[in-house]
Amino acid sequence: MRLGVAVDAPQYAALGDVLHYLSEQALPPGSLLRVPLGRRDTLGLVWEQVSEEVPADPGVTLRPVGEVLACLPPLGEPWLRLVEFTARYYQRAIGEVALSVLPPELRKLDDTALAKRLARLRRQWGLPSPEGEAQPKKRRRAVAAAQEALPPVPPPEPERPPLMPDQATVLEAIAAQFAAETPTCQLLHGVTGSGKTEVYLRAAEAALAAGKQALVLVPEINLTPQLEARFAERFPGRRLVSLHSGLTPAQRLLNWLGAHLGHADLVLGTRLAVFCPLPRLGLIVVDEEHDPSYKQQDGARYSARDLAVYRGRLEKVPVLLGSATPSLESWQQARTGRYQLLAMPHRVGQGELPKVRVVDMAQQPKPPQGREPPPLCPPVLAAVQERVSRGEQSLLFLNRRGFAPVLHCAACGWKSGCPHCSAWRVFHKGDRTLRCHHCGFTERVPTACPDCGNLDIEPMGRGTERLEEQMVALLEGVQRPDGSPARVARIDADTTRLKGSLEQQLAAVHAGEVDVLVGTQMITKGHDFRNVTLVVAVNPDSALYAADFRAPERLFSSLLQAAGRAGRDAEAAARSEMWIQTWTPGHALFAALRQHDYAAFAASQLEEREMAGLPPFSHLALLRAEARDPAVAEAFLRAAREMARAWLAEHGEPPVMLYAPVPPQIAKVAGLERRQMLLEAGHRGALQRLLADWVPGLHALRAAHRGLARWAIDVDPLSI
C-alpha cells in the first residue's frame, strides 16, 4: 500500500507537503519510520494512508519505506492537527514543521537503539517493563527484595501558603473552566508579586488530581530552573520534566519520551514545548505571555503563545495566559470578550509596588567640557549609596551588554563597524575584543586607529560591563552596615555563558552577597529579590524612539517588570522606589508608569493603533529576501508584489495593502543584504487566502532571480 510521509524538507525545496512511499503494512498516521530520501536515509512521519483509488504519478517509481520505530506509539491526532495548522498558518511545509519540533536525537536512532532509550527511561523512573519484555533475573530479585524491605512511604504533604482574596477569586474562575465543555482562554493580569505562580501551582494541582497532564511555558531558559524547583517542591512524587535548548540531546529525548508516553505529569519548557505530545493534556499555562521570546525568529516563525491558545481550543482544555503587562493583542481579546480577564491587582503579604520617580536629565548638572556624564545623576547615585549603607540591594537596569556600543577615533572619525553587517562591533573590555552581536565576527581591539594610526581611540556610549566598572569606582568608600565595602555584580549574557553560572550568581544575590546588581532584561522578570528596594532604569530613552511601532509597548513592559523587582518584602515595601533617568519626562508612558497603570497605557496605545490601522486592528505578514547584491533582493520583492496584485485583481478579495520593498533597520547581516516587503490586511482570512496561493508561486519566482540567497514569509511579525 501507499503511504504519505512527511519528511524534513524546507518549503523552498518545493517537494510538496508529503512524499509517497510503498509499505507492506498499514501504518497509522503519526507513526515514525526511516525512509530513503535521495541518497540518504532520514526520519519520516506517516501523515496519511493513500487510497488505492488515487492514481499514481505516471513515470514515477515509488520507493519502499525503511524500518518502522515500532517501539514508540504513534503521535496522536490532536498533535498532527496542531502541526498541520502551524504549517498552513505560518506558510511552511508540513514535514519541515513536524520533524523540526521532534527531538533531534530521534533522527539518529533505529528501532533497537530507541528501545534501549525507553528501557533506560523505565529504569530511571522506576517504571515496570512492558508485558512480555524479559528482565534480568538478578534485577528481578533485587527489585523484589527492595520492595519487601522498604514498605512504600507516601511523600510528605507539601506546605501551601494561604490564598489571598484575589487568588481565591481567580482560582474559582479557573475551576469553572475545568468543568466547561468548551473552555474559554483566560488572561490573568496580575501585578508583579501578586502570586501568579501560586495560581499556576493550584491550577496544575487540579489538573493532576483529575488524572491529567499540565504544560507550563516560560519565555526563557533562565526562568526554567527556578520555576521547576517550585513545582518539584509542591508536587513530590510526581514526574516533572523540562524541555528547552539548554538540555543535552539525550536529556531532551528522555524527557520528551516521558511526556509522549504519558508518564510525565508536568512539563515545563520554552516555546518549543508547545509541540510536546501529551496524551492526557488537561491544562496549558503561558507565563509572561507578552514576552517576544515566544515568537520563533527563524524557520517556521510561529508564536508559541498563539499556538498554545489554538491547542487549548483544539483539545478542549483550559489555557491560562499570565502577565503583569499583557500583550496588546491579548488585552484586546479580553476587552472584546474573546478571552476571560482575571485580575490580581494586589501584592501578596503586605508588599507594595515601588514609588516611581522620573528624573529629568536636562535639569541635571552638566559635566565639564570634554568629559562624559556619569552613569547616574547625583540624586540617583545618592539613593544607591543610601541603600548600600542600610544593607539593602539596588538593581541597575541597562539593556545593552558589553563595555561600549562602539569604539571611536576623534582624529579621523573612524568607528568600529562590522565589515559583514550594517552594525557596529561592540567593545568588550574583559577579553579586549570587538564583537558583532549580529554575525558573531570578533577581532582583538586594535592598538591604534586602523585608518589614521591615532593611538587615542575611545569608547562611545555605555554597556553593562562599563556600568559595572563605573559603579565600583562611584561606590568606593561607601560602606555596608558591617563596615565592609560595597559589592557590585553583573548579570548578562556575557557573565552567564557557562553552565550553572546564572544559578550561582542569582544564589549570591538572594544570599545578600551583592549590594548593587547591574544587568540587562535577564534580571527584570521572574526573579523574587526580597531585599531589593531600589531599581534604576539607566538609559531607557534609546528604546522609546525605535522605528518599530511596538517600541513603547516593549519599553513599558520592561520598565514595569523591572519596577516589580522592588518592594516584595513587606518591611521594606514602604521605602522601595524606582528611578527613571530620561530626557523626555513628559512622555505619556512615564505618566502611566508612575501610577503602575497598565490599563491606561494599553488604552492609549490601542487607540493609536486603531487610528493607524496597526495590530491588533489589522493583520501583517512580511516577505523577506536576502542576496549579496541588494538589487537582486529588491527585484525579487517587486516581482512578488506584482504577482500578488494580479492574484488580488483576479479573485476580488478584500483589499490587502502591498507596500514597497524597503531595507530593515539592520540592512546587512553576515555579508547578505536584506530587504523586506510588508503586507497588511483588515481581515485575517483575506491575508491567509492570498498567502496560501501566492507562496507556492514564489518558489518558481526565485529561480528567475539568480543570486537570491533565500527568502522567507513571516506571518504576524513582531517587528517591522
Residue 185 annotated as binding site: no
The rounded distance, in Å, linking the Cα atoms of 429 and 410 is: 19
The rounded distance, in Å, linking the Cα atoms of 708 and 672 is: 10
CA distances from 681 to 389, 415, 617, 647 (A): 57, 41, 9, 15
Contact 185, 317 (CB under 8 A): no
The rounded distance, in Å, linking the Cα atoms of 139 and 581 is: 66
3-class SS at 64? strand
Q: How many residues does the chain have?
A: 720
DSSP letters for 616-680 = TSSEEEEEEEEESSHHHHHHHHHHHHHHHHHHHHHHTPSPEEEPPPB--SS-EETTEEEEEEEEE
Under 8 Å CB-to-CB from 148, ≥6 apart: which residues? none
Contact 676, 662 (CB under 8 A): yes
Could you tell me which residues are beta bridge partners of residue 266? 214, 240
Could you tell me which residues are beta bridge partners of residue 387? none
Residue 71 annotated as binding site: no
Written as one letter, the residue type at 340 is: Q
The rounded distance, in Å, linking the Cα atoms of 154 and 535 is: 44
Residue 409 annotated as binding site: yes
Residue 377 annotated as binding site: no
Written as one letter, the residue type at 411 is: A
Residue 412 annotated as binding site: yes
Query: Quick one: which of 471, 473, 477, 476 has its CA closest to 490?
Result: 471
Phi-psi region of 441 (alpha: psi -120 to 50; beta: other; left: phi over 0): beta
CA distances from 372 to 9, 376, 383, 678 (A): 54, 12, 21, 41
How far apart are the two ends of the chain, measured CA to CA in Å? 48
Contact 636, 625 (CB under 8 A): yes
Pairing of strands 340-344, 488-491: unpaired
Pairing of strands 355-360, 240-243: unpaired
Q: Which helix (H) or strand (E) holds 501?
A: helix 501-510
Give the CA count within 13 Å in the CB-facing half-sphere of 284: 33
3-class SS at 500? coil
Annotated binding site for Zn(2+): 409, 412, 418, 421, 436, 439, 449, 452
Annotated binding site: 409, 412, 418, 421, 436, 439, 449, 452
